[in-house]
Amino acid sequence: MTETIPLPAHQWPQLEPGWVWLCGAGPGDPGLLTLHAANALRQADVVIYDALVQEQILSWAPQAEHIYAGKRGGKPSAKQRDISLHLVELARAGKKVLRLKGGDPFVFGRGGEEAQTLVQHGVPIRIIPGISAGIGGLAYAGIPVTHRDVNQSVTFVTGHDQSGNTPGSLDWDSISKGSQVLVIYMGMKHIAQIAAKLIAAGRSLSEPVAVVTTATTDAQRVLETTLGTIVDDIAQSGLEPPAIICVGQSVLMRQVLDWQGMIAGHAPRNLDPLGRGRPAESA
C-alpha cells in the first residue's frame, strides 16, 4: 500500500531531517487526526507510536519505519527515559522523526517530558496537538464536556500517578467540590477508591457517571451508571481500559445526544433529560 493522503492546498511545514515532531493521533478514529498530523505522516522516516494509536493511522505512513513504544498502565518511568533518548538518537542520525501519541501529546501523555528531553539535547521540535480522549471520546458517546445548564468548569484528572497508585497528591475533596464535571483518565484500576473519595467529599450516590471504553473506535462501549453503583456495574459489564470516566450531570445529555445510537436507528431516549422543559434559547 503506497497511497498518500491528499491534503488541501496550504503552506504545510516540512519535516526536516534531525527534527522530531510530537504529534497527537486523537482518541482512535483516524478521521480525528489533524491535517498537521496527516502532513507529518506523509513525510516521516520513522514513526514512534504508542499503544493507543490505531493501525490504520500507521498505514498512512507506508514509507516510514514504524517503531512501537507502547507502555500501558503505570509501568516504571525508566522506560519513558529510554523512549525520549531513542528519539534523540534517531534525530541525531538525521531521521525525520514523528513521535505519535494517543489523544493530545500534552494531556496525560508525557509529551512534555519527551519534548523537554529533546530540547535539552538540542533537538528541534514541533508540537502537533490532538483531540484528547476526555473531550473527543465523550463527544462520541454523546456527552458534551461542558453544557451551559450543567457546568461552568470541568476538571481533567488522572486516576494514577507515576507509581501507579491513586494520586495521593490530589486533593479529591477540593476537586469534588470545585468542579461540577470530572473527566477521569486512567481511572479504571482505582475506581473503587476514587468513587469512595468523591462520595466522602459530598458527591451524591446517584450522581450520573459514564464509562467510555475504546472511545471513537469500532469497539467503543459506553456504560451509564452512578457513583454508588459504578464498581459493581463495571465488574458486571466486563469493560476494560482504556476508559474515560465522566462524573456529572452532563452524562444525562447522552439520553438525547447519543448520535451513534441514532445513526444505528434508535430513537433518542429523552428529549429533555435535564428537565428544562425546552431548550435554552438565549444566546
221: phi then psi, degrees, rounded to nearest 5: -130, 150
**Nearest alpha-carbon partner for 103 in 134, 77, 144:** 134
Closest contact distance (angstroms) between CB of 158 and ligand SAH is: 7
Active-site hit among 50, 95, 188, 253: 50
Which of these ranges, 53-61, 91-99, 213-221, 255-263, lies near ligand SAH under the rule CB under 6 A? 213-221
Active-site hit among 101, 186, 197, 258: 186
Closest contact distance (angstroms) between CB of 185 and ligand SAH is: 4
Query: Which residues ranging from 82 to 141 are in contact with ligand SAH (CB under 6 A)?
Result: 101-104, 107-109, 132-133, 137
Closest contact distance (angstroms) between CB of 141 and ligand SAH is: 9
Residue 255: its H or E element: helix 254-257
Query: Which residues ranging from 33 to 52 are in contact with ligand SAH (CB under 6 A)?
Result: 52
156 vs 181: CA distance, rounded Å: 9
Closest contact distance (angstroms) between CB of 61 and ligand SAH is: 19
Q: Tell me, what amino acid is at 99? A: R
In the list 28, 129, 208, 273, the residue contacting ligand SAH (rule: CB under 6 A) is 28
Q: Which C-beta is closer to ligand SAH: that of 95 or that of 244? A: 244
SS3 category, 270: coil
50 is catalytic: yes
**Nearest alpha-carbon partner for 134 in 249, 226, 243, 51:** 243
Residues ≥6 apart with Cβ < 8 Å to 218? none
- Number of residues forming the site for ligand SAH (CB under 6 A): 24
Q: Is 248 in the site for ligand SAH (CB under 6 A)?
A: no
Q: Is 27 in the site for ligand SAH (CB under 6 A)?
A: yes
**Nearest alpha-carbon partner for 116 in 37, 15, 22:** 22
Query: Which residues ranging from 160 to 189 are in contact with ligand SAH (CB under 6 A)?
Result: 185-186
75 is catalytic: no
Q: How far is CA 118 from CA 25, 28, 92, 115, in A?
A: 20, 26, 11, 5
β-strands 221-226, 208-213 pairing: antiparallel
Q: Is 251 in the site for ligand SAH (CB under 6 A)?
A: no
Cis peptide before 242 (omega within 30 of 0): yes
**Which residue numbers are catalytic?**
50, 71, 186
- The footprint of ligand SAH (CB under 6 A) covers 27-28, 52, 101-104, 107-109, 132-133, 137, 185-186, 212-216, 241-244
